[in-house]
Structure 1
Amino acid sequence: MTQASNKPPLPRLPALLGRAERPWLAIPAAWLLALGGSLALATIAQLVFPAAAPPDFEGVEGAHGFFLLVVFAPLVETLIMAGVLAILLKFMKPLPAVILSAIGWGVAHSMAAPTWGLVIWWPFLIFSVQFVVWRQRGWGWALAVPALTHAMQNSLPAMVLLLGL
């Protein structure tokens, strides 16, 4: 099942996210939406759970860490997300599929640090929407668009690790 309309599978998202066109515009727009949401959620999580441990990136530093966060993780996680969403879309409509996908990624990231899952589900909701929308143009697009958005999302923390801040 694919999303055939020009609306995103998640109500209230910008219409741009519901169209599989202009990737040069759709990717940065999705990134800004994902980044803004995750920063807001991180702030809330920090206020509500000030003693919560952040994710542990020990050993993920320098150029190797940058590669892992900006290239490897977005590619591997997008492939996993695509497989799960492809299965979910055989049994349900896009809206519940993208919501279940995002919740699953939140749970998976919570295993590393509980509050991380609270923060990470929002970007994965956006990545999941991108997969569903861009699948209309083919698997290459459905994998590339969310993977590039994910790479952009990870680039800021990766720069922090690269610079040792």
Structure 2
Amino acid sequence: MYQYCDLDDCCISLHDCFVEKMDFDNGILSFVFPDGFWIIKKHSQNKSNTTVRTNSSQVDFQIIDEEIDGIEIYVFKGNGKVKTIRENWEPINFITAINNGKFRIEFITQYKNYQSFLFKYWACFDKSPYHLECEIILHSNSVAYRWNKLRYDCIW
């Protein structure tokens, strides 16, 4: 389905990229990026001198033990003053809410460790509260970044 598959992110960035669909099947958590993700200029397929977006793309994480409990999702809610509460969201409910269009997510920051990925992102809504700060922790030992072509008209 995709022409290119990168197995590491040394030349890829998800920063400011939106996910509108997700799937968990056979131990693989998939994020679908309708507007693509970023390919930096040193990638072998990038023929420009700048970072460019791909077309519609997908990122697949192989979850350790292939169980959905290898996915942790937290949402931070506050009263606008001093108190912030971290809520745990069940992964299947989170995936269903995204696929039903209740919100989309915008990736902000990524941290990696041995068999673990931590992403900070915004859950973006069409009405108040408009966005919530969130985290997703993926217990994964492999990731695949899939895409078809670069959009040289869409630069960083």
The structure carrying a bigger helix percent of its residues is 1
The structure carrying a bigger strand percent of its residues is 2
**TM-score, normalization by structure 2:** 0.25
**TM-score, normalization by structure 1:** 0.24
Higher relative contact order (CA 8 A, sep 6+): 1
